[in-house]
Structure 1
Amino acid sequence: MKQFLFMLIAMVSTVTIAQNYISGQVTINDSSEPIPYANIYFPQLEKGTTTDDNGNFTINNLPSGVQKITISVIGFETFSENITLPATSPFQFQLKPSAIEMSEVILSTPFHKLQKDNVMKVEQEKISTLKAKGAVTLSDGITNIAGVESITTGMGIGKPVIRGLSSNRVLVYAQGVRLENQQFGAEHGLGISDAGIESVEVIKGPASLLYGSDALGGVLYLNPERFADPNSNATNINTRYFTNTDGYNVNFGHKASADKFKFLIRLGQAEHSDYQTQDYRVTNTRFREQDLKTGLGYQSTNFKTDFRYNVNLSKLGIPEEIGIQSDLKTPLEPYQSLTNHILSSKSTWFFDNSSLDINLGYIYNDRQEFEDHHHEDEDDHDHDEDAHEEEHHKDQAPALHMKLKTFNYNIKYNLPTMGKFETIVGVQGMLQNNSNYGEEQLIPDATTNDVGVLATSHIHFETFDVQLGARFDHRNIDIDNAITKQFNSFNGAAGIKANVTKAILARLNLATGFRAPNLSELVSDGTHHGTNRYEVGNINLKNEQNFQTDLALEYANEHFEIFANGFYNHINNYIYLAPNGNFINNTPVYNYLQSNARLYGGEFGVHLHPHPLDWLHLESSFETVTGQQDNDDYLPLIPANSLTNTLRAEFNTNTLKKSYAFVKLRTTFAQNNVSQFETTTPSYNLLSAGVGTTVTLFKNPLDISIAGTNLTNKVYINHLSRLKTDGIANMGRNISFALNYTL
């Protein structure tokens, strides 16, 4: 370690002090007409600006060497190119008009490329887009992304499912570091608010090469909001009201940047009552959440760093049965009280044609779960009962109280480009400690230590690109200072992206992934109240190891797009829970077992935006996944097949800017392919619609939107709802009203 630090100091000391700048103009292709308000951005530097009314721009304090620049604006094809600094003359960039949505830089993959240039297919969505579709929470919003669903316990608790895999098989990254919050539990949600998150990226399939253990099923990568452009500031307030839960989400943020220093802060709060179906409220699906995100950044010519901190406090009711009908917002027992801290730093040193990235993170998750005790009936209209419940909660001791402290690091060196090769080598690791403080204990005190080394290369050819990589990981788990378990795994990935024709793009990726058993699977021995099970671990469990093949085909011209993404995923030693027929304290006993499994399916869709009606969009997509053990028994909690049809219009006028309207019909088919321990669910159709626009108020933009979900008030049960075994329906009709005002 000392040798590494000496090498690091030596490398930093050789950084050149030359200060470069770039200037130029952005115009329409084959025309001298300038493009105002185009976004100029260096993704690796995380630095950018916008063009002025004449299409001109200037960016100062840039390092020497090869840097990727992207230029994007609505109505034009996104431009991406490597340029060499220092530049001897101003640049002249020309953009091609296009009705296709502009591309974004993908940050979850190592080379920060546009999606069209990426070897690995990654789905990306703006959080603002998910909110515009009526999403109540972040976990609700991600279900609008192809191949992504959510296991839910009411509206307040949801965890991501990627192509049928969830829990510890899906990694979540926030602020550039892996989020650890006791995600082994089926009723343990994300514990993070959508306030202050700019976009979400989804890697579907094994990403162990990039992220190590627990990325066997994929990665959900949450990109925090960007700092303000140099020498600018912005303040905004965003508020949303939901009719179904009589709930609201509100957040306030301010950010400001000078030449080198930058700062942002965002405060958010959400409160929701029990959600309503056509016939009743679902008791204790209420929840409260408070969130703070702040960041401090510094950027000089050859060095940049930013520190971010997020604290999320949430109180989540755990529904059990239909009971008290109330519009109060303080959760009843049983409930979870969670405090989640994320402290992260991301630093980059730039050398001539190479760079060093060091990301560090500390996550402190304080989880308290309170059992159900007798409490008085609530008065539907006397909101003093809220205060009564708060006092009642203060007097109770948690039945389950765990503190999970995680330090993780990610160090990568971007080697100088050598001909057609871009190469990254790195080391990643995690040190984690779990401690118990409650009356009961589900999993013991333990310390986990991970370390992994990796290397990956992107190779550019004339009509195709290749990406190769390999990685070795070691995990050591010290359980209660009595048992030590060690797990090792070697994994690799290979992919190719080929431009078959000018309009047809093909991607083929082969990758292995792994997941070491978690503490719950190895040594749990107790009642898990959130799932109503007595869980018994298996100390002899082995690594889950998988191999997945992904094939993606895309055809796109100016007015028509079609895509087909297929996958086959084979998992050795798949870990699952099964009842053994016994009961302890009237609670069924479940054991952790292993068996080989396979999942297969894909996403398929078309997008039509016909000329000359470029403002009109017709979209249709189909998603399917099947999961089975080798003995042909079906796996539990596999999403039902679904078909989504959307009619969308986008237009701009002098008065109403960035205006849109949409109507969406989602058909979810019956799920009859179920494990022997779960129930089937019938098919249903959900209709949703929304409108939005931007107007000018006091010379500043005001975004206004209205969205409605389940407009026909359909009574239905989603197959991934944990309330389905009790026959409890999902949320009925919900209308949301949103305002976003920027100063």
Structure 2
Amino acid sequence: MNRYLLAILLLLPQFAFSVGEIKNNKLSGIISDQKDNSPIPGVSIFIPEIQKGTVSDENGAYQLEHLPSGKMTLQFSFIGFESVIKTIVINKENLKLDVKMPFTTVTTQEVVVSGGFPSAQHENSIKISVLKEKELQQLSTPSLGEKLASIPGVDVISRSPGVSTPVIRGLSLNNIIFLNNGVRMENFQFSTDHPFLTNEQGADHIEVIKGPASLLYGSDAMGGVINVLKEKPAPANSFKADINSEYHSVTKGYSNSIGVKSSGKDWFWMIRANQQSHKDYKDASGDYVPNTRFNTEGLQLGLGLIKEYGSFKIYYDYLQPKLGMTNDESLEVVSEGKRKNHYWYQDLEQHLLSLKNRIFLGRYKLEFNAAYQFNNRRLNGNPNSSIFRLVDMDLKTFTYDSKLYFPGSEGSEFLVGIQGMHQSNENKGAPNRIIPNAKIDDFSVFSLLKKEIGDASLQFGVRYDHRSIYVPEQEAGGHSHGEAEEHEEEEHEEGEHDEHDEHEKELVHINRNFDHLNASIGATYHVSESLLLRTNFATAYRVPNLAELSQHGLHGNRFEEGNTNLNPQKSLESDLGVHYHTQNHNIDLSLFYNKVYDYIYLAPTDEPAPEGEGNVYSYSQQDAKLYGGEVAINVVPLSFLKFHTDYAMVIAKQDDGGRLPFIPQHKLNMNVKIFGKGNRTFKDPFFSVNWKYAFEQDNPAQFETSTSSYDLLGLQAGSDFKMGKYKMNLLLSASNLLNKKYIDHLSSLKPLGFYNPGRNLSIKLGFNL
């Protein structure tokens, strides 16, 4: 009850402020080239806070109407020019803002929203990497995890292109948080077989926080945060539609996406439908890797109202993937190279309804967001068995967060906020229960202060979190991905129980509360216009998940035993970053050291397993450390030539000398890109060569083996072009061009002896109205 009273007290101040007289605030101006003052048509002007934007006309002029009063951040962006980011205070009906855009040949910064305050990347004390819309479109892979892995410091644990989970600086699963447009995703992410159910089709961009983010997002954000931001509404008073299709030879797979959206002066709507289907992929020998097929359908809807006193948006996301599972049992029954899921697959369903609101109350701003997500996870086995549906669970999650932004003086911002979650898991009629019926409640309160002092920007925050986990008394269990459940069920039906069976049953009951206080302090110092330094010190924590606390049974081929007495993981990380840029090149260097206390890991014991083979595997804890860094260099020596190089490494050790699992190989990427002149028909044509080298991983964890080095070559060519009055784009790609046989260290098919995908030739075609 106290937490709800606190929530009311925090929200009450909003009603004390008068909205005042509603005005039709307008913002207008001229956008021109900094070099010769010539107007620039087609510049995108966008206000992320209210999701409203427009495009400059042929004279470089723009106008936005019905804007709220108050402080807001604007981004002006156009290909070939450095993005201009302005923070303005709208306090009169007709505000003029002319912008001169400087020419640049390298990647420019973006406005990011995952760091607490909407701001330019260079103003954040925590490193936020951005994968832009154009970059997403040019990543030719059906796997969202592989797209994320193009960011230095991010990798992917993969069973197939459809089943993958990201790794940030060596931490994964419940150690990172995945957001869908700011909404925390809950998809049974305690296992590498359970990917985050988020659809990136049509996304505007993806933001990745590399490092602790518990200050902003609570438990599980020890390793970082991935936020997939929805596509922007159509510019004011316009209608847009697009159709995008792609084909991949390695899976004989295709993907289609259709989007339609429209905006008026103060409203917008959007709808997008997508579907993809992939057969079992082939390795470099031309052999099928059985049951790596997957099929997905999705739908995204959005509706928004933007008035002088605020913005109000509602979104609905639906995703239904069917993901093949490659395991010992499926190898015996699955026909290779097929498309339809029939044996041994996850049949998943995800519904997400979210509300995002921002109210402007004089000099105050109130943000209130709420979301409900329903996730049904079914694991289907052999349809010829008497038990086909092995797992059937419903996960229901309600989340909310509210932030009150206080009036700030010039160069300062301050907010207080609350966040909460109520979650319930319910097992249905299927015999296997990898996690029990349970209820989880979260509540947190936090504050964040940002202050500019001279050439430095300081950021400080504190946060208190409370989590309660309640598991009513029930039989503990797991599942084997095999047929043992069928035999057990038959015995129960016949009443053939013996004393040994009764003795093996174990009950689980959990009623625990966890409290934690986190803090973060960081600074960004602009040594000059070209050079900035960034440092941050932050604490983070993670509450043990339900599987770690309660499991008792076979999971795969191991008998795993949970530990109801596990402590939360805690960490302290320090980061140091250097960024240098000129018109023709930029350099990013990031170093980190992360000390993790009570790291949770699985290890064998001396106790013989009551089922399966070998001994019982039990969850234990020990202190650990992770350290390393990333460097990325972009150089454009000529207007038509660009070189890119990045290198990422992470070393992870337990204090007893053991190694942590799922630590990626050190990786070096190089890219050479050549730009064409183009003409009236073809615009921005390019050709690129990519080379990746993964170093040998000779420090495996206890259950892993060493992995040899490998290198991959890729080619890409593409262009935008016009067909009549329509805009189109074409992309041709070849990955693993030399068709090399290799296994990545984070492939979860490695224990089964299967190689990663062989050569993949792909084609993407987009049509824009």
Structure 2 CA distance for aligned equivalents of residues 571 and 254 of structure 1: 46
The C-alpha deviation readout for 1:80-123, integer Å capped at 9, x for no partner, is: 22223216553322111122223221121111111122222111
Structure 2 CA distance for aligned equivalents of residues 452 and 505 of structure 1: 33
Q: How far did 1:689 drift?
A: 1.2
Runs of 4+ residues deviating >6 angstroms: none
- Which one-letter code corresponds to 2:569 in the other structure? E
Q: Tell me whether 1:174 sits opposite 2:180 in the alignment.
A: yes
Q: Tell me whether 1:259 sits opposite 2:265 in the alignment.
A: yes
Say whether the 8 Å CA contact 1:176–1:346 is kept in structure 2. Answer: no
The C-alpha deviation readout for 1:35-68, integer Å capped at 9, x for no partner, is: 1111112222221111000000111001222322
Say whether the 8 Å CA contact 2:26–2:66 is kept in structure 1. Answer: yes
Say whether the 8 Å CA contact 2:317–2:352 is kept in structure 1. Answer: yes
Other-structure match for 2:543: 516
Other-structure match for 2:369: 359
Which among 441, 465, 471 is matched to residue 463 of structure 2?
A: 471
Other-structure match for 1:408: 399
Which among 626, 629, 648 is matched to residue 602 of structure 1?
A: 629
Closer/same/farther in 2, CA of residues 500 and 426 from structure 1, 3 Å limit: same
Q: Tell me whether 1:207 sits opposite 2:213 in the alignment.
A: yes
Q: Tell me whether 1:540 sits opposite 2:565 in the alignment.
A: yes
SS in 2 for 1:480: strand
SS in 2 for 1:494: strand
Structure 1 CA distance for aligned equivalents of residues 118 and 377 of structure 2: 35
Q: How far did 1:363 drift?
A: 1.1
SS in 1 for 2:171: coil
Q: How far did 1:175 drift?
A: 2.5
- Which one-letter code corresponds to 1:366 in the other structure? N
The C-alpha deviation readout for 1:208-240, integer Å capped at 9, x for no partner, is: 000000101100111011111121111111100
Comparing 87-96 with 248-257, which one deviates more in the overlay? 87-96
Other-structure match for 1:399: 390
Q: Tell me whether 1:706 sits opposite 2:732 in the alignment.
A: yes
Comparing 257-266 with 677-686, which one deviates more in the overlay? 257-266
Which among 420, 433, 445 is matched to residue 429 of structure 1?
A: 420
TM-score (norm 1): 0.94
Q: Tell me whether 1:670 sits opposite 2:696 in the alignment.
A: yes
Closer/same/farther in 2, CA of residues 9 and 604 from structure 1, 3 Å limit: closer
SS in 2 for 1:609: strand
Q: How far did 1:735 drift?
A: 0.8
Say whether the 8 Å CA contact 2:200–2:228 is kept in structure 1. Answer: no
- Which one-letter code corresponds to 2:399 in the other structure? N
Comparing 205-214 with 457-466, which one deviates more in the overlay? 457-466
SS in 2 for 1:521: helix
Q: How far did 1:651 drift?
A: 4.1
Other-structure match for 2:275: 269
Structure 1 CA distance for aligned equivalents of residues 465 and 79 of structure 2: 43
Q: Tell me whether 1:634 sits opposite 2:639 in the alignment.
A: no
The C-alpha deviation readout for 1:432-482, integer Å capped at 9, x for no partner, is: 001111212121111000011110111112211111000010000111264
Q: How far did 1:727 drift?
A: 1.7
Other-structure match for 1:36: 41
Structure 2 CA distance for aligned equivalents of residues 94 and 342 of structure 1: 41
Output aligned runs, 1:707-722, within 5 Å: 707-722=733-748
Say whether the 8 Å CA contact 1:443–1:525 is kept in structure 2. Answer: no
Q: How far did 1:15 drift?
A: 4.8
Which among 31, 38, 49 is matched to residue 54 of structure 2?
A: 49
Closer/same/farther in 2, CA of residues 89 and 283 from structure 1, 3 Å limit: closer
The C-alpha deviation readout for 1:189-211, integer Å capped at 9, x for no partner, is: 12222223221111011100000
- Which one-letter code corresponds to 1:404 in the other structure? L
Which among 490, 497, 505 is matched to residue 517 of structure 2?
A: 490
Structure 1, unaligned runs of 5 or more: 376-394
Say whether the 8 Å CA contact 1:72–1:102 is kept in structure 2. Answer: no
Other-structure match for 2:100: 94
Closer/same/farther in 2, CA of residues 154 and 303 from structure 1, 3 Å limit: same
**Structural RMSD (CA):** 1.8
Comparing 534-543 with 194-203, which one deviates more in the overlay? 194-203
Q: How far did 1:371 drift?
A: 3.0
Q: How far did 1:12 drift?
A: 6.9
Structure 2 CA distance for aligned equivalents of residues 615 and 30 of structure 1: 20
The C-alpha deviation readout for 1:539-572, integer Å capped at 9, x for no partner, is: 0000100000110112212222222111000000
Structure 2 CA distance for aligned equivalents of residues 265 and 344 of structure 1: 15
Which among 429, 443, 452 is matched to residue 444 of structure 2?
A: 452
Closer/same/farther in 2, CA of residues 701 and 518 from structure 1, 3 Å limit: same
Other-structure match for 1:59: 64
Output aligned runs, 1:183-222, within 5 Å: 183-222=189-228
Give the fraction of aligned pairs with identical amino acids, expressed as a percent. 34
Which among 20, 43, 66 is matched to residue 25 of structure 2?
A: 20
Other-structure match for 1:568: 593
The C-alpha deviation readout for 1:563-604, integer Å capped at 9, x for no partner, is: 211100000000011123633432553211111010000101
SS in 2 for 1:210: helix
SS in 1 for 2:397: strand
The C-alpha deviation readout for 1:486-507, integer Å capped at 9, x for no partner, is: 1111000011101123322110
Q: How far did 1:624 drift?
A: 0.3
TM-score (norm 2): 0.91
Output aligned runs, 1:610-625, within 5 Å: 610=637, 613-625=638-650
Other-structure match for 1:391: none
Which among 655, 663, 670 is matched to residue 645 of structure 1?
A: 670
Closer/same/farther in 2, CA of residues 366 and 88 from structure 1, 3 Å limit: closer
Q: How far did 1:311 drift?
A: 0.9
Closer/same/farther in 2, CA of residues 88 and 702 from structure 1, 3 Å limit: closer
Other-structure match for 1:689: 715
- Which one-letter code corresponds to 2:568 in the other structure? N
SS in 1 for 2:327: coil
Which among 288, 296, 307 is matched to residue 295 of structure 2?
A: 288
Closer/same/farther in 2, CA of residues 47 and 587 from structure 1, 3 Å limit: farther
Other-structure match for 1:385: none
Say whether the 8 Å CA contact 1:196–1:293 is kept in structure 2. Answer: no
Comparing 99-108 with 173-182, which one deviates more in the overlay? 99-108
Q: Tell me whether 1:309 sits opposite 2:311 in the alignment.
A: no
Which among 329, 333, 346 is matched to residue 356 of structure 2?
A: 346
Say whether the 8 Å CA contact 1:454–1:469 is kept in structure 2. Answer: yes
Comparing 489-498 with 314-323, which one deviates more in the overlay? 314-323
Which among 502, 506, 512 is matched to residue 533 of structure 2?
A: 506
Q: How far did 1:526 drift?
A: 2.5
SS in 2 for 1:139: helix
Comparing 636-645 with 10-19, which one deviates more in the overlay? 10-19
- Which one-letter code corresponds to 1:203 in the other structure? I
Q: In the comparison of the two structures, how many residue pairs are matched?
A: 720
Structure 1 CA distance for aligned equivalents of residues 323 and 644 of structure 2: 36
Say whether the 8 Å CA contact 1:404–1:433 is kept in structure 2. Answer: yes
Which among 331, 337, 352 is matched to residue 327 of structure 1?
A: 337
SS in 1 for 2:413: strand
Closer/same/farther in 2, CA of residues 65 and 621 from structure 1, 3 Å limit: same
Q: How far did 1:532 drift?
A: 3.3
